[in-house]
Structure 1
Amino acid sequence: MATQLFEGKEHASLYQKYRLPPPDEVQKLILSYLEEKKQKPFSLAVDIGCGTGQSTRALSSHFEKIVGTDISKAQIEEAKRASCASNISYCVSPAEELPFEDSSVDLITAAAAAHWFNIKKFLKEADRILKPSGCMALYSYHAYMEVHYKNCADKLTAIFTEFYDSLSKYASKNTEIVHSEYEAIFNAIPYPDKKRITKMVHKFQMPVGDLMGLFKSFSMFQTFLQIDPDAAKKLIENTEQRFLEVMGVSSNETIVEVWAKHFCVLARKSS
């Protein structure tokens, strides 16, 4: 992985607590593609840039063995502390230098991570470890989200947009790849059998306090926090207070519904 923004233990803890597993729709899309393109059994899946393991654990019932890799030792330590199936393991490794034998992997996944990779080197390494007809699934979501609660969705979403825009100067250029829904990554994949799926909307519910935790896990918020801790903390506190005022409630345990747009790039290595 060419970029290292998720090294801190506190950031890793936020990931473990507030980041969500992949939506069922995305998981079904990936597994359906794999089953269509490659015969069972599926022995090994590798989840690259796995963070604290939410996306890795989602694969546990479909493969004999799943390995989550991440360049961040802190993220891997959090992943190992989480309860998981016996067929899951984790290791510290960059996306561009993976500790797997040639032609040994059935499926490579990367959840909200591929935009941090050196894509040219990663794709070369992915091609090395994938089995013939092995598949790759690279997916993420837009950080711009809609927030819904009763009849005040427009106001809540406007507050979130203002919060997000205020952090834009701390964003990495890598996030531009996300805004384009991985178009550049899709174009860089050398396999002729590939497709890109966009406009999948995932709706999930969480307390306002947890939503603030999710916001704090954003890489650009963490950059802001390092530069000006007091201002970053004040921004989160003010955003939460504005949410509660618009909603007409006092508890940050009040549940809101969040809508996030997901997209996915799927590709199959030639047989």
Structure 2
Amino acid sequence: MSAPTTPPTLSTTKTVRDFGQPDGLFRSCMNIIRHSHTKGQLLRTFFIISGVFSDKIMYAELLTQFYVTTECLDLILSESESEIASSVLNSELGKYKRFCNDYATDLEHLLGPDHLRIINSYKSEAAIKYIKTLKENNAKVELRDASLLAGIFILWGPMIIGGGAMLYPRVKKAYGELACSTFTLFIGSGREKRKREFIDFFDSVGERMEEEEFNKVVELCGEYMRMNNEMMVQVKRRPWWVKWGVGLGISLTCGAVYVYVKKKKT
């Protein structure tokens, strides 16, 4: 009799991918975004190095991009009468629908009473295009369900899989607990369970799909991931300290990352 083994955890991108079923929907979506995910990590590195945790306006502008697109996705989910939408809302994933409101709470805290006007001014062309694409795809019967699933995979997934738990302590240290409502659903005990629920949901839905719709979900995941990255590229704010010439070496490093990402743009 072999010795008992400790269950593996979903700790890295590769490991998380491999916890999906072979040829399942989760793993297929992870495969299609692999290159864009690498680029996204470079962009996140750029923002961390360049001061997203030292300049709250820069952080708020970045947060705005994901707030406005997630808000659009959540409205689509709320208004949909499809079986897929019901499956999401009635599953363990249903609770994540409220985290868009948590984005709004954080932005109000960061930007003050005039936050709605400021949010509108921060909305990038890439975010506007993303919202337009989500709405247009939702209006097409043949793309509606695939677009909803892809949007959830790309806009909710990173927070559930581990991004929320990773960002929380950094944001808390930089801007205080009152700026951390966005992460409420993604921290604390049960992290592995949350990841497992997300993976199992997508694989379960994928098993019931025809090949054509399955492939549409995968294709749209790739498209929406590229749009995520483009929103980050278009953030205009640079840290307050750049104008004083502080950290020239850091600024040059940020510039190198930015140029690399632009050249590798898919």
The reply to whether TM is greater than 0.5 is no
Category of TM-score, reference length = shorter chain: 0.3 to 0.5
Larger RCO: 1 or 2 (CA < 8 Å, sep 6+): 2
What is the TM-score with the length of structure 2 in the denominator? 0.36
Structure whose residues are more often helix by fraction = 2
